[in-house]
Structure 1
């Protein structure tokens, strides 16, 4: 008799669990549907926004290497998708998780930015040097104690030819103090 009673209690517990599970799913369905609709609209919206962003980057950096435009486009896309993911969590009713992820990602981004500050400084200086009409391949410049001919300018570093050797300098160091020697452009026959 005790076994039959225990089996009946177990069946009752299982029935309650199934009813609660089905009830929870039914309660969550509107949020899930809203979340799926939100994701569908977000995908369409982000595709349209990225077309505009790429067009604007193409105009703003028309003379630059396409790698810079792609990098900036991907960075904007990544940030937008992350924002969509946080908004999606909020639509599902998981606002606290979205807030925690947003805060945590802010701290992670701050740490990465601090760790990469030298690289970021060189990249920003590289953009300035690439756009500077007074600093071009073939120009003779002095940077620090060295004088040489500018061979290549890249995003993070510049190569100078000094006495037949190639000197590679970080753009942050070059951009902070350099002097152009007028009339000594070896790459331009007009000088």
Structure 2
């Protein structure tokens, strides 16, 4: 809800205000849904274990088996098994802390080690991811030491445009600002942009022939929407540069 101020643009038009409100509601609702799915997945897992355990004890009791010595011996066995199942206990504890701290949930895009993908299932023991290539990763919760979440709060679209070293950077900066401002003022794009795009300007100077200056534009977006914003913004900036007659540096090499 903290994005409300940023979402309400300075123009104050009804369309922009409606788009901003829609974006804010979408962010909050999506996060709630992800958390509910994650909790539901874990609760189903815990409920299954509890139900089967109670059913097993009940069936043994109905069969006339004396449970007192069985439970006493189970306690001794449980201690022995506990030493050999430390990783399992660690997995479960890590799963509990993951849920309590809301580190990630079903539907989030996360990176764990070499695996990056969308979280499909979360249990107290494992997390299952599916990569963009369709690869399914099964990761023990206890083995997760560092996790990067691309779906929480906001994302950032970052676009770099190399321009000729001899170009007028002030003119290009103005062109970039006008182009991205056009997207910001369209309701369809305001629903996925959290803040007005910013032109950070020259980020790098490369004197390797042909010499170039890299100009950067950034914008905060709703989670996982940065890529579509980048694609649209890249196409618009390319068209604006073409219209202004600004030739790519590579085209200047004979």
- TM-score, L = length of structure 2: 0.34
Q: Which structure shows the higher helix fraction?
A: 1
Q: Which has the higher contact order (CA 8 A, sep 6+)?
A: 2
Q: Which structure shows the higher strand fraction?
A: 2
Which structure would you say has the larger Rg? 1
